[in-house]
Amino acid sequence: DAGVIQSPRHEVTEMGQEVTLRCKPISGHDYLFWYRQTMMRGLELLIYFNNNVPIDDSGMPEDRFSAKMPNASFSTLKIQPSEPRDSAVYFCASSLGGARDTQYFGPGTRLTVL
Amino acid sequence: EDQVTQSPEALRLQEGESSSLNCSYTVSGLRGLFWYRQDPGKGPEFLFTLYSAGEEKEKERLKATLTKKESFLHITAPKPEDSATYLCAAVAQGNKLVFGAGTILRVKS
């Protein structure tokens, strides 16, 4: 298996622009997680899905952030409008059985908002 | 509030110098404790899962242990390729992982 796939790997945009991050989980995994990693706050859970349904989005920082999972093999995290404080590395992870099961992380998307 | 604290923040070792990393947690009803390794520019890579106090897991030069309040990652005779950031995470209420800030390990030859 190719593992969790994320795109793009790097994104540089200007404040106010819309940003869309993409994730393809490992085939057969029922859970998908979006995390954000910064030096100040470490690795934080933003939202997670079970069988394509959002279960907990309490980590989503603001209404500017939204996430969708239209099918079992694809998810997006969108930021609109983007702000400089959104600059971070965004990771997608997937697992078979939720947080008690091993989560496999993608390579991440490094987002820089100027 | 569920919290995971790792120490030290950074650790420099000579090749072959064994040591331990600490992860203390305050999570009501621990449902699992994970250790991950993260190399620069990459996503966290799974190392171990521990579910109950007294449990131990080993892999090559690494050994993870768990008590009711903390977990240790013991590194025996480390090599330069063990240099990485080691992350600890606890399964908290709401079926979510709460991560510690990590320990940056540097092993010099």
| Chain A residue nearest residue B92, CA to CA | A99
Q: How far apart are CA B98 and CA A74, in angstroms?
A: 24
Q: How far apart are CA A38 and CA A22, in angstroms?
A: 19
Contacts of residue B34 in chain A, CB cutoff 8 Å? 102-103
Least confident range from A5-14, A100-109, B22-31, B100-109: namely B22-31
A1 falls in which pLDDT band (50, 70, 90)? low
| B43/A103 touch (CB, cutoff 8 Å), yes or no | no
Is A57 buried (19+), middle (13-18) or exposed (0-12) by CB count in 10 A? middle
Average pLDDT, chain B: 95
Residue A87: pLDDT over 90? yes
Residue B95: pLDDT over 90? no
pLDDT at res. A114: 97
| B43/A107 touch (CB, cutoff 8 Å), yes or no | yes
B65 CA: distance to closest CA in chain A (Å)? 17
Q: Chain A residues within 8 A (CB-CB) of chain B?
A: 4, 33, 42-45, 48, 55-56, 58, 91, 93, 98-100, 102-108
